[in-house]
Structure 1
């Protein structure tokens, strides 16, 4: 099969298209014909050498949609439409930048019954599973609550806006660039703030008692300020590191963490584990809602399989304002 391989760290030019073997699935795995995959910062970090030393050829990619080629256990049928994310892809096994991918069965979700195109389906797995895990599992959001999304124009931030609105929340979203505000309103945000790094007081003008929950996509750089926007017993979940290293210098538990506020980090590496099985994932529902135009799509641009390098350049330019997809 053809796959992109990283043999040394560097820029997009180190992504090399190669012919490699397609591993056969073991009893707890399935093989999928990849029809499309979304791009993620994790793949750019791997390529740049920011996720450890590259000592052997690595196939990047942490998500894909496609059709089942073979399931040794017979749980999924041949040709069945599915999505997959994480489960060791690009780390302990080949990733999804390939014609085929062999993945853990626990990290596969059926997409039966949807009419959504492959490129639209490819916008769902990593972004929306992360949002679902953080909002539903970590923050336990409820209809009628107010949610702050710090870093709203990232692909996962946009997914959070659309998902939270579909769940009946009031959404305050941030962007560093005023020109991107309209994009957030189009996705459903109720209020948009241009992020100077110090927005807690402005959030309090919108929600005087504080927001019920916050989704932190920027990370450590803005976390102290985000925490100040929460009501007592509110909660913040960190899901991104757009602002740099995940280190809080001199964090004071009594002075920096307001009374009763909860703080957690949600890693998508939990997908498919006993702690977070994918049996009740919202992906099939989301596919139907987007197909019916009841939810906006976060898709922004599609690339051919031989254009992966160009896609990486756009992803790293911070100009995508949505999900980039590669269609095979």
Structure 2
């Protein structure tokens, strides 16, 4: 938790004004709300932002009034999402609040040029770099189309846990969805034991619990399991059923840091279909400027990352 310090009355005032200006610029239609005939408030109402952020109306009102209240990074993250803040605006919000952003958009130190080259050369084998929180830090063209169109998601949603429990296209691609979700939640719990106090982990957990009844059910089991290789079927919407072995190769010391994740074909038909998928991904439509990740010279999708457990030396 972060307390807005008493000496920063000016900062609290600036925070209040900033929140109000961002709220007033958003139309109800932008966030899926219906504009009523008697609406006089420009943009969203305070209670609408509170609802979208899953926080109390009184608390959000106090925040816009510049009161000296306690603010958590998780709540600021929710407010930033509700107000559709871009990268610069999000950084400004956390700076005014004197809080550490749990998901800063900074280049990931784990994805070195050699790792980018490896990802590209592994194609058509789907490959990505992930941290222990399941954030997808970089990926090649085939991985980007393996379980849906990964480029279509904003950077903060490119997380395997989030997609497996909330994204219809990703979920439809997983043949054994209940089993996969249960295993992923158990791996996430085991990994989180070393990161219990970190804002990025707590924020992701809160988002999952708020968005998915399925996640709440499996999380309540308190199951844990370590990382390991596993054969699995994936039903790709573009090339059909794929039989793959999921493998992990850790890029740093120990098994808690970033890892190279690959999906190796286990039969000839899958190898042919992965080659087709790579060709389709390479000639597919380019994503829009809002969602397009940075691209390396090799064509690997480079994302941003928050707090990575270990960087590549």
Measured against the shorter chain, the TM-score band is under 0.3
More strand by share: 1
Q: Which protein, 1 or 2, shows the higher relative CO under an 8 Å CA cutoff with sep ≥ 6? A: 2
Of structures 1 and 2, the larger Rg is shown by 2
